[in-house]
Amino acid sequence: MQTQDINFQNANIRVEDDRTGLSVEALKRAFLDNLFYIQGKFPAIATRNDYYMALAYTVRDRLFRRWINTAEVYTTQGSRTVCYFSAEFLMGPHLGNNLINLGIFDQVKQAMQELGLDLDELMEQEEEPGLGNGGLGRLAACYLDSMATLEIASIGYGIRYEFGIFDQDIRDGWQVESTDKWLSYGNPWEISRPEWEVQVKFGGYTEAFTNERGQYRVRWVPDKVVRGVPHDTPILGYQVNTCNTLRLWSSEAIESFDFTAFNAGDYSGAVYKKMESENISKVLYPNDNMTQGKILRLEQQFFFVSCSLQDMIRILERQNISLDRFHEKFVVQLNDTHPSIAIAELMRLLMDEHGMEWDQAWNITSKTFAYTNHTLLPEALERWPIGLFGKLLPRHLEIIYEINSRFLDEVRLKYPDDIARINRMSLIDESGERYVRMANLACVGSFAINGVAALHTELMKKDVLHDFYELYPDKFNNKTNGVTPRRFMVLSNPRLCRLITSKIGHTWVKHLDELHQLEAYVDDPEFRAEFRQIKQAIKQDLAQYIKANYGLEVDPASMFDIQAKRIHEYKRQHLNALHIITLYNRIKANPDIDITPRTFLFGGKAAPGYFLAKLIIKFINSIGDVVNRDPDVRGRLKVLFLKDYSVKFAQRVYPAADLSEQISTAGKEASGTGNMKFAMNGALTIGTLDGANVEILEEVGAENFFLFGMTAEEVYAKRAAGYNPMEYYESDPELKLVLDRVASGFFSHGDVNLFKPLIDNLLYSDPYFLLADYRSYVDCQDRVSLAYRNQDHWTRMSILNTARMGKFSSDRSIQDYCDDIWKVHPIKIELRDYVQGGCGFDGSTDCKVVF
């Protein structure tokens, strides 16, 4: 290490100092420095993880100035801040994203190369924080990226789960789960801030009293108190100085509790209390679009919400801003109902802890929250049994009763004598066992309610939230989801991005609509050839990965037909499977049939308690076992289930697709974001008119989209008319053969019972209308196969998909949230130096940071 080269006397050293310099030389020195002083290693004894850590710290050092500058500007300007409350943040690896956003990817790649290291390998080393299940958590992560990029003051608030989404292995075709120990090698991207810890109460009882001024008050006497400790991760925007914060809370025991029990001689009691406290942030519930009425889940929700609101109050108090301006200084976006207990908790904090009266507290609360609805599936609507709720949160139950009583008076005034309506809208479900309805609480307590795609918002207004729409039509609005092009194009598909930038310049990364300019090149044969070669090269890479990791040969010239998302009946991975069997049957009937070769790839996790979803995984693997080996197939079809789908892996998969499977039952997928990530990278979609597919079709044009299946209205009508799946089985010989083959044990070594639950489900109930959509789907797939044979035309369509995806940048979504809901504007952050001057280092006191 050439440390002698560095002149510490030089006042301008910061430009090239090891802690901030961006030249290849400075990066190399910093890297070796961090390897030695943080990892305690030098190259001869360093592991790949040591190298990864040294690089992560090197990059993190280059974020700090922006991070502190940002916090300082927000503090001194008292900026209106968006607080994004989400039980899940599916961030994906940080290293590559930070390199892109800092604009130092190429320098770092070169620096590593000069040290004999491969940047791609180091990025592969990062254990991603899998603190989410799927789309909802990934949306929160994309929104953080876009808020920082658009220079919007924001904080992401959530839970620092010690174990995120489980790791998935496949053994004998079945999903096997193991714990996600993402923190075991340490997390270089977070900084804990124990000085800002808060306390959260649970259980116990409430008592009313009259205070010294003769006012009626309520005191909550809890039977458990835990500490919430914030862990902050910097969220840098794309080539701006804005660096916002993701603040995740972890639960810890209160020391004094342990000591009391310990001194009383109850050692195991003390240990148990500690364990119980730490359990709250221990593990992410692995259900996607499905609630589990477990008390621990409610504890998690209340825990992070209470921590976050207390943190926001601290920030205001430190800025000497009065609490009655809470709603001016903050707006809280509720990512689904998971954090909706925040409405009752803010009421409690304002009244019980800060002495406000109901009306003022309600005025503030009802101007603070905005609620995003994410699903129409009845099994995903959160409700808590009153008994359980009141035991854990006795004070909040009282507050909810009071909100409800005032709310129902309002409803009664508008709809006198409409008892049925009042029962439907009540925050309490009294139809049987009594429940608190979290969606109703969210609707009453929020000033805005949005769906996540145009169709979803319409269905929401028509169906699940219809009564609330009639009462508060102005609260309702649509915000179609988006995804960040930084991670899902620039980072994951550098070859395509280089080609795009060579034609239209680089500003499309921040203004994705500019991709439209690519349309000018769609008739340029040379451009089409380059575009096609890039897709081919990416497929080649994935084929190599598959060979290395699964020992399976797949043909990169075959169509890569991919369905990657959580496994769920409504997403209909099994419909895809029925199509594969259909093609296989055609080959068996006529081995010389002329068929377009396809590689079917699946990825996605099933909730551990979701039997049919796990059986679908086994089903896909069993089909693969037969199809991949049958000599009649002659390699023309390959079927593979890729294990442990994650953000890291998603980045490898989306760019490699020719065909994107978005085949949910119409009306069931709220938006989908995988559909956007595929299409941006030039995959064509085969899809239903569901979620954002509708808008993707609208953007790319029907001639560049493979549409099939019933509409949501047709699905409702069919259900209402009494759907009989057996009719389809009886009347479609190809479908009958598919189901009969499966039922005969053909794909299960003769075991006729293995897939019986799946087949019986389809024949006798088919709640997601697979059989009704089968013919339309298979015929559409035949059109896909035909289209793929004309590679030149296919490439045209593929280019037009990429070119017309501008709408689906999360920057557009966030701009819409800013304009219509949050009413916030960008705040420019200038780079100020802290090493040389200002902020305490030189004795000055002009810097204040409370964020």
Q: Does 234 bind ligand PLP (CB under 6 A)?
A: no
Binding mask 646-665 for ligand PLP (x = CB under 6 A): xx--x---------------
Tokens linked to 841: 């280092």
Q: Which of residues 794-833 bind ligand PLP (CB under 6 A)?
A: none
User: Which are the contacts of 631, defined by CB distance < 8 A and separation ≥ 6?
Assistant: none
Q: Does 301 bind ligand PLP (CB under 6 A)?
A: no
Q: Which stretch binds ligand PLP (CB under 6 A): 149-157, 673-681, 698-706, 831-839?
A: 673-681
Count of residues of this chain found to bind ligand PLP when the rule CB under 6 A is applied: 13
**CB of 282 closer than 8 Å to CB of 162:** yes
Place of tokens 């190298």: 51
Q: How far is the CB of 694 from ligand PLP (least distance, A)?
A: 14
Q: Does 674 bind ligand PLP (CB under 6 A)?
A: yes
Closest to ligand PLP by CB, 302 vs 768, is 768
Q: How far is the CB of 215 from ligand PLP (least distance, A)?
A: 50
Q: Which stretch binds ligand PLP (CB under 6 A): 132-140, 166-174, 186-194, 461-469?
A: 132-140
Closest to ligand PLP by CB, 131 vs 738, is 131
Place of tokens 């369905």: 563
Q: How far is the CB of 677 from ligand PLP (least distance, A)?
A: 6
Q: Does 672 bind ligand PLP (CB under 6 A)?
A: yes
Residue nearest to ligand PLP (CB): 674
To 10 degrees, the CA torsion angle through 25, 27, 28, 34? 140
Query: Considering only CA atoms, which of 802, 812, 514 is closest in space to residue 682?
Result: 802
Q: Which of 574, 579, 677, 812 binds ligand PLP (CB under 6 A)?
A: 677
**CB of 394 closer than 8 Å to CB of 220:** yes
**Per-residue DSSP letter, 632:** G
Q: How far is the CB of 59 from ligand PLP (least distance, A)?
A: 22
**CB of 28 closer than 8 Å to CB of 47:** no
Rounded to whole angstroms, the Cα distance separating 777 from 734 reads 13
Q: Which stretch binds ligand PLP (CB under 6 A): 7-15, 490-498, 532-540, 669-677?
A: 669-677
* φ, ψ dihedrals at 646, nearest 5°: -150, 180
Q: Which of 673, 704, 761, 809 binds ligand PLP (CB under 6 A)?
A: 673
Rounded to whole angstroms, the Cα distance separating 397 from 447 reads 21
Question: For the chain, how many helices (H) and strands (E)?
Answer: 33, 25
Closest to ligand PLP by CB, 134 vs 222, is 134
| Beta-bridge partner residues of 448 | 370
Q: Which of 134, 286, 339, 556 binds ligand PLP (CB under 6 A)?
A: 134
Catalytic residues: 374, 565-566, 571, 673, 677
- Which one-letter amino acid corresponds to residue 623? I
Rounded to whole angstroms, the Cα distance separating 740 from 736 reads 6
To 10 degrees, the CA torsion angle through 641, 642, 643, 644? -130
Closest to ligand PLP by CB, 326 vs 645, is 645
Tokens linked to 414: 């508008």
Closest to ligand PLP by CB, 376 vs 650, is 650
- Distance (Å) of CA 496 to CA 131, 185, 530, 805: 29, 34, 9, 14
Q: How far is the CB of 81 from ligand PLP (least distance, A)?
A: 27
Tokens linked to 133: 């299940």
Binding mask 626-645 for ligand PLP (x = CB under 6 A): -------------------x
Place of tokens 């204040």: 848
**Per-residue DSSP letter, 170:** E
Q: Which of 327, 565, 643, 812 binds ligand PLP (CB under 6 A)?
A: 565
Closest to ligand PLP by CB, 270 vs 453, is 453
Closest to ligand PLP by CB, 34 vs 492, is 492
Q: Which of residues 714-733 bind ligand PLP (CB under 6 A)?
A: none
Rounded to whole angstroms, the Cα distance separating 535 from 560 reads 10
Query: Considering only CA atoms, which of 830, 481, 452 is closest in space to residue 676?
Result: 481
Closest to ligand PLP by CB, 333 vs 673, is 673
**CB of 478 closer than 8 Å to CB of 457:** yes
For 799-818, letters b (16+ CB in 10 Å) and e give: bbbbbbbbbbbbbbbbebbb
Q: Does 624 bind ligand PLP (CB under 6 A)?
A: no
H or E element at residue 638: strand 637-642
Q: Does 453 bind ligand PLP (CB under 6 A)?
A: no
**CB of 821 closer than 8 Å to CB of 828:** no
Q: Which stretch binds ligand PLP (CB under 6 A): 134-142, 235-243, 439-447, 761-769?
A: 134-142
Binding mask 566-595 for ligand PLP (x = CB under 6 A): x-----------------------------
Closest to ligand PLP by CB, 234 vs 672, is 672
Q: Does 138 bind ligand PLP (CB under 6 A)?
A: yes
Rounded to whole angstroms, the Cα distance separating 339 from 585 reads 49
Q: Which residues bind ligand PLP (CB under 6 A)?
A: 134-135, 138, 565-566, 645-647, 650, 672-674, 677
